[in-house]
Amino acid sequence: MDYQKAAREVYEHIGGKENIVSAAHCATRLRLVIGDNAKCDKDAIENIDGAKGVFFASG
């Protein structure tokens, strides 16, 4: 798997760095706090090689 390509694609489909509030990770997930969910292309992210899904938390 090309991790750099996957990272670039995620970055492009979440609205760029201006839309990232914070980032964290655990053993199996990358957790991003996004400023404006409307700028995210959930379908495109879910189709990125290596992405297992997208979850939006309320509040």
Residue 13 has pLDDT above 80, yes or no: yes
| Tokens, residue 37 | 């969910």
Q: Identify the active-site residue in 21, 24, 26, 27.
A: 26
Confidence of residue 59 (pLDDT cuts 50, 70, 90): low
CATH number of residue 42's parent domain: 3.30.1360.60
Residue 26 annotated in active site: yes
CB 15 within 8 A of CB 34: yes
Number of domains, the chain: 1
Backbone angles phi, psi at 15, to 5 degrees: 100, 15
Q: Is residue 30 part of a domain?
A: yes
Q: What is the pTM of this model?
A: 0.79
Q: Report pLDDT for 1.
A: 87
- DSSP structure class, residue 29: -
Residue 14 CB neighbours (<10 A): 22
Over residues 20-53, the pLDDT tens digits come to 999 999 888 888 999 999 999 999 999 999 898 8
